[in-house]
Structure 1
Amino acid sequence: MKILSIIIALSLMALTGCSDDMITGPEEEPFTVESLESNAAQKVVKLVHIKGTYSGSGTIDPTRTDCPTGSVPISGEGTGIASHLGKIHVSFSHCSFFLVDPANPTYTDGHGELKSANGDTIFGSYNGFLTGPDTFQNVNIVNRGTGRFEDVTGELTETGSVDLTDTGFTFEISIDGFISTVGSSKR
């Protein structure tokens, strides 16, 4: 009796709603050269941890004329070492409100670059603030690069100390953050 019930159930299932799509499956898109090229252009993005330190000096920059009213243009350069870059040369410029108004510990409109020994460079923009009388923190938004860092993106936090001198300032900075690996991927 069980066998007869199974045969009847299978027969009813076969008669109710079996279509060509159920047997052959849905029609798939054709595989073309264009679809290969489209998939090949997609890049896998991984984040790489960047850590480093650098030190140097800076001064008021009379050549920069785009700072907001109530701020002073500051520029500087330094050297150090960072993971995935090796030896680095750093240059930066920002607009400091603190030098005009000590109650406002911020600086804005920052632009900087980290250049590796072979010339490959990471560019970014930043804003920051004093965290104490001689310490600061800023966040860099990495937005482009050259060489193996072409198309790079990311975010780097810098913390450091600054000492005012008669002609400007000296600084020591630690970098910590992440960048994408798109720039170093083979094309």
Structure 2
Amino acid sequence: MRLFKLLCVLGCTACMLTTCENDQDQLMENQLTETNYQKNSSKTVEVPYKANYHTSQADDAFSQLCSSNSPTDFWGQDHQLGYGNATHLGNFTVDLEFCFHVVLDSEGQPDFDAGFGEFSGADNILEANSGDLLFTTSSGSQLIPIQDENYVFEFENHLTVTGGTGKFENATGEIINYGMVRNDGSGTDHHQEGTLILVK
């Protein structure tokens, strides 16, 4: 009789251990499934990006100084507003603020050797008609004088995509911006090409 009771106790204990082990296995399996689902549900897709847009100076452009060495050598706060069209954005508006280097020679002309036309990097905001925002950070560069029927300067700088809202939330990517400054003083034409990495 004692042997029978002992066997029953051992049998129940083994059953409980097996049940506990099965529960642990099921819990781990559920956690792995949930982790895999989260990974699969936040896939990214890489898409080509192209944009053409125009910017012109806002009314408050150069109303403030970034820094100053002298009246003929200073960095002014430029502010430009614009509009254009881009893949994945459609029609959009853009707001740019950056520091621009003004250096004049003894005759009051731009001194390119001393740094005239240099500009700093900036945080940029592009807003699509849908209200979605795309955020980029641009590198600095410098205007290069050119001989052209419609343009007086050109430049190239790089942009890094830092996120956004709506379909651009957590977006990343790299963009090259080509700029051409009009000779009639009406602003700058931009062409951009690059890659966006969007979270799906």
Q: What TM-score comes out, normalization by structure 2 length?
A: 0.66
The answer to whether 1:49 aligns with 2:48 is: yes
Counterpart residue number, 1:141: 160
Q: Would you say the 8 A contact 2:99–2:120 is kept in 1?
A: yes
Per-residue deviation, residues 114-165 of structure 1 (Å, max 9, x unmatched): 1111010111111232352211111111101001100001111110111366
Over 3 Å counting, the alpha-carbon distance change for 1:175 and 1:40 in structure 2 is: same
* Post-superposition offset of 1:36: 2.0
Name the Cα RMSD after superposition: 2.3
The alignment-based identity, stated in percent, is 27
Counterpart residue number, 1:6: none
1:32 counterpart SS class: helix
Q: Which amino acid aligns with 1:62?
A: S
Pick the aligned partner of 1:34 from 15, 18, 31.
31
Counterpart residue number, 1:160: 179
Q: Would you say the 8 A contact 2:133–2:166 is kept in 1?
A: yes
2:44 counterpart SS class: coil
The 4+ residue runs of structure 1 with deviation greater than 4 A are none
Over 3 Å counting, the alpha-carbon distance change for 1:121 and 1:61 in structure 2 is: farther
* Post-superposition offset of 1:112: 0.8
Counterpart residue number, 2:197: 180
In structure 1, C-alpha distance between the alignment counterparts of 2:62 and 2:142, rounded to whole Å: 19
Q: Would you say the 8 A contact 2:182–2:189 is kept in 1?
A: no
- Residue-pair matches, total: 150
1:38 counterpart SS class: helix
Structure 1: give runs of 5+ residues left out of the alignment. 1-28
1:84 counterpart SS class: coil
In structure 2, C-alpha distance between the alignment counterparts of 1:75 and 1:169, rounded to whole Å: 14
Q: How does 1:70-149 map to 2 (within 5 A)?
A: 70-97=74-101, 99-100=102-103, 102=112, 103-104=114-115, 105-133=117-145, 134-149=153-168
Q: Would you say the 8 A contact 1:122–1:146 is kept in 2?
A: yes
Q: Which amino acid aligns with 1:47?
A: E
Per-residue deviation, residues 1-49 of structure 1 (Å, max 9, x unmatched): xxxxxxxxxxxxxxxxxxxxxxxxxxxx945222222222223222111
Over 3 Å counting, the alpha-carbon distance change for 1:152 and 1:140 in structure 2 is: same
Counterpart residue number, 1:17: none
Q: Would you say the 8 A contact 2:95–2:126 is kept in 1?
A: yes
In structure 2, C-alpha distance between the alignment counterparts of 1:71 and 1:137, rounded to whole Å: 19
2:194 counterpart SS class: strand
Q: What TM-score comes out, normalization by structure 1 length?
A: 0.71
* Post-superposition offset of 1:68: 5.1
